[in-house]
Structure 1
Amino acid sequence: MSFEYYAILLVGAAAGGFINGLAGFGTALLALGFWLQIMPPISAVSMAVVMSVLSGLQGAWLVRRAIFDQPKRLARFLIPGIFGVPLGVLALSSLDPQILKLTVGGMMVLYGGFFSLRRTLPAFDRPTPLIDSLIGFVSGVLGGATSLSGALPTMWCSMRTWTKSETRAVLQPFNIIILFLSALVFLFRGNYTWEVVKDIIIALPITLLAAQVGIHVFKHLNDTQFRRLLVVMMFASGTILLGKELL
């Protein structure tokens, strides 16, 4: 492999790791912008899922107290999401993944663009167990079908009046577990060839270091700044997703 190949590999690893450490999601959306230039889509996506899981473990450890303080809140998203993953995998035979990605990307752009222009963000403070479960289930389906498990929970959680640690205590472990299940599906499909494994080994240290930098920035954000960051990230991630799918 050329120097250019490894340079793009490592830049993508750093970008994906940083945004995961900062926001708790977004590894695939940023890293794939680089990795799709140097490797086949199946290899790039399979690699991004693994890097999302491994780098996300650091962020989950950071908010471990918030996770254990509200285990039922996480369960309302996670348990339906786990059941949704195999349905998403089965849906691949009858649904067009590109249409799903364009639909989700459009929602992210509209949501992020609208609330980025507002001075105040919406604030739901009452319990919404049915909505939480529905969002978790649909996100599990999207995770199994397209690896986009984090979009809907992020949009919903950014509208809650939770602290930044409470928000991350839902988003981070949810994404880790759903994407881990997706990685198992990819493993059984034979996506993890020696070339993919080798690239993961090379890129992983950079991703982990970059995630630590992102976590450092996260610690200096207040709750409102973090909610605003999630909204802006939705707009940016949706724009990137639409651009990749359309172009």
Structure 2
Amino acid sequence: MTVSEIAYLMIGAAAGGFINGLAGFGTALFALGFFLSIMPALEAVAVTVIISVVSGIQGLWIVRKAMLQNPKRLARFLVPAVFGIPLGVVSLQQIDVSMLKILIAFFLILYGGFFSLRRTLPQIDRPTPMIDCTVGFCAGILGGAASLSGALPTMWCSMRAWPRYETRAVLQPFNVAVLGLTAIMLIWAGAYHRQTLIYAGIALPTALVAAQLGIVVFRRLKDETFRRLLIGVCFLSGAILLLRELL
């Protein structure tokens, strides 16, 4: 492994870990581009999933109280997602994944751009169990089909007038659970061979430190600032995803 490869690996791990610690999602969108420059796609995804899950577990600790206070809210997103993931995997044979990613990227850019320019954000504070379940189910399908399980929950949760810890108490465990299932599938597919584990062993410490830095910043944010951060990350994620697919 060359010095430049190690540099790409650590930069990607730092970027992915920091955004995970800060926002509770987004590791793949920020790290995968660096990893794909030095390793095959399957290995890159496998390493990304590992640092996403482990970094996410750190984030779970800071929202543990909010999770326990409202477990039904999380379940409305997570349980339907579990049923959606296999449908997404099955649909890989019937859909153009690249086109799906481009459509999602445009949607993220439009959403993020529109709400970033608004002076006031939506204040949806009433219970919406059916919408929550629908978002979770569709997110599971997108996760199985295109590894984009976090897009819809992030957009929907950023429109809710929830405190930042409550918002993260949905996004963080949702992503950890979905990516944990993805990791099991990758183990079954034989993705974690010797070289993949070497890459992961180098990337993981960097990602963990960067995630802690992201958590420190998150603790200092105000609720309104965190909501705007989620919207901004949606826009940036869409732009990165679009550029990756087009180039």
Task: Answer yes or no: same fold by TM over 0.5.
Answer: yes
> Counterpart of 1:217?
217
Pairs within 5 Å for 1:117-132:
117-132=117-132
Q: Distance in 1 between matches of 2:144 and 2:194?
A: 23
Give yes or no for contact 1:21–1:59 (8 Å, CA) kept in 2.
Answer: yes
> Counterpart of 2:73?
73
> Counterpart of 1:138?
138
CA drift of 1:205 comes to 0.7
Question: SS at 1:186's partner residue?
Answer: helix
User: Which residue identity lines up with residue 9 of structure 1 in the other structure?
Assistant: L
Give yes or no for contact 1:85–1:144 (8 Å, CA) kept in 2.
Answer: yes
> Counterpart of 2:113?
113
Give yes or no for contact 1:85–1:181 (8 Å, CA) kept in 2.
Answer: no
User: Over residues 28-64 of structure 1, what are the superposed CA-to-partner deviations in whole Å (9 max), with x where a residue is unaligned?
Assistant: 0000121111111221112111211110011111100
CA drift of 1:146 comes to 1.4
Q: Distance in 1 between matches of 2:103 and 2:147?
A: 14
Q: Indicate yes or no: 2:170 matched with 1:170.
A: yes
CA drift of 1:193 comes to 2.0
Q: Structure 2 stretches of 5 or more lacking a match?
A: none
Q: Indicate yes or no: 2:169 matched with 1:155.
A: no
> Counterpart of 2:29?
29
User: Which residue identity lines up with residue 226 of structure 2 in the other structure?
Assistant: F
Q: Which stretch shifts more, 84-93 or 108-117?
A: 84-93
User: Which residue identity lines up with residue 210 of structure 2 in the other structure?
Assistant: A
Normalised by the length of structure 2, the TM-score is 0.98
Q: Indicate yes or no: 2:244 matched with 1:244.
A: yes
User: Which residue identity lines up with residue 134 of structure 1 in the other structure?
Assistant: T
CA drift of 1:102 comes to 1.0
User: Which residue identity lines up with residue 15 of structure 2 in the other structure?
Assistant: A
Q: Structure 1 stretches of 5 or more lacking a match?
A: none
Normalised by the length of structure 1, the TM-score is 0.98
> Counterpart of 2:89?
89
User: Over residues 179-198 of structure 1, what are the superposed CA-to-partner deviations in whole Å (9 max), with x where a residue is unaligned?
Assistant: 11111112211222211111
> Counterpart of 2:184?
184
Query: What's the RMSD between the two structures over aligned residues?
Result: 0.8
Give yes or no for contact 1:20–1:55 (8 Å, CA) kept in 2.
Answer: yes
> Counterpart of 2:42?
42
Q: How many residues in Structure 1 have an aligned counterpart in Structure 2? A: 247
Give the % identical residues.
59
> Counterpart of 1:103?
103
> Counterpart of 1:204?
204
Detail structure 1 runs of 4+ shifted over 2 Å in the superposition.
Answer: none
